[in-house]
Structure 1
Amino acid sequence: MAWAIGLLMALTLLGGAVVAEEPASPSGVAEPWQSVIDSQIAAFRAKDAPGAFQWASAAFHTGFPSAEAFFDAIVGSGYAPIMESRSHSFGRFEKLGDKTVVQEVKLLGNDQGLYEAIYMLAEEANGWRAQGVQLARHAGVGI
């Protein structure tokens, strides 16, 4: 739960940060961290706890005794719409430095609900990893 509080604090601090906001993949080529998000969402959808856990940051690996404990905590924390989503697409992102980024992900839920997830990712020794996600439901329905 501490990671969620940390993410919220970091996102709050972003409001006062001076960062360049960039459109989603301006060159039409996927950004390297986007494959991490794709892979983690695919693992969540497949109920593959070890697959989802491998894309989590080192802080998650320290904070959870197993992939299953991580998976159960994510499900229990209200992130089921990500796991049950039908599709997702990338929105805007903000680079907070060479090794940190905030990425918007738009999701179509299994319930036809529209959701937005804000992922915070950092480049670690083993590549880009998810540090946290903030999820919100939007009004309306998707098709």
Structure 2
Amino acid sequence: MRIVRTILGCVFVMLIAIAPARAQVSDADVGAIRGVISEQIDAFRAGDAVRAFSYASPAIRNQFRDPGTFMDMVRTGYAPVYRATATEFLEIRYGRRGPEQDVYIVGADGKPVIARYFMQQQSDGTWRINGVVLRDAKDLVT
């Protein structure tokens, strides 16, 4: 229970701290970004490589060429994202490359991580995932 209170306290402090940065990302964009991430995580859970691949940016799709190769990379290099058992959206900020969405994820092994999603808006206004960096969730509570 103490850990949960600590995490909630950190989330509250982070929300206050990001208010100015979030102003650069509209509420509609925040919703769209979170929707894309959620849909991709759902596709991973379902084993749907084609759907998961569709949420990747053109640069990521060019790098991995096909849904199977992409899914293999996620399975081996991003196991917590591949089989997430729990997710919670945290901070969103506007970084050098655009919006960055942090997501608290618990993987199939029960270990939590923070996934930072780098988002890219396409010419048609849709959002795509342009990279993900994982870090240990204990970095949240020190």
* Same fold (TM > 0.5): yes
Structure having the higher helix fraction is 2
Contact 2:84/2:107 (8 A) holds in 1 = yes
SS in 2 for 1:41: helix
Q: 1:65 to 1:26 in 2, by over 3 A?
A: closer
Offset, 1:21: 2.9
Contact 1:84/1:109 (8 A) holds in 2 = yes
Residue 121 of structure 1 pairs with residue 119 of structure 2: yes
1:13-92 matched pairs, under 5 angstroms? 20-22=20-22, 31-76=31-76, 78-92=77-91
Q: Following the alignment from structure 1 to structure 2, what is the Cα–Cα distance between the partners of residues 93 and 118?
A: 9
User: Which amino acid is 1:66 matched to?
Assistant: D
User: Which amino acid is 1:22 matched to?
Assistant: R
Q: Following the alignment from structure 2 to structure 1, what is the Cα–Cα distance between the partners of residues 103 and 55?
A: 16
Runs of 5+ unmatched residues, structure 1: 1-19
Contact 1:53/1:70 (8 A) holds in 2 = yes
Q: Which residue of 2 aligns with 1:95?
A: 94
Offset, 1:52: 0.5
How much identity, in percent, do the aligned residues show?
Answer: 29
User: Which amino acid is 1:54 matched to?
Assistant: S
User: What is the CA deviation profile of residues 71-94 of structure 1, one whole-angstrom value per residue up to 9, with x for unaligned ones?
Assistant: 112222x20111111110110111
Contact 2:40/2:52 (8 A) holds in 1 = yes
Q: Following the alignment from structure 1 to structure 2, what is the Cα–Cα distance between the partners of residues 26 and 55?
A: 20
Q: Following the alignment from structure 1 to structure 2, what is the Cα–Cα distance between the partners of residues 88 and 26?
A: 22
Structure having the higher strand fraction is 1
Offset, 1:22: 3.2
Runs of 5+ unmatched residues, structure 2: 1-19
| RMSD of aligned residue pairs (Cα, Å) | 2.5
User: What is the CA deviation profile of residues 32-84 of structure 1, one whole-angstrom value per residue up to 9, with x for unaligned ones?
Assistant: 111000000111111111011000000022222211111112222x2011111
TM-score by length of structure 1 reads 0.71
User: Which amino acid is 2:41 matched to?
Assistant: I
Q: 1:104 to 1:95 in 2, by over 3 A?
A: same
Q: Following the alignment from structure 1 to structure 2, what is the Cα–Cα distance between the partners of residues 26 and 122?
A: 14
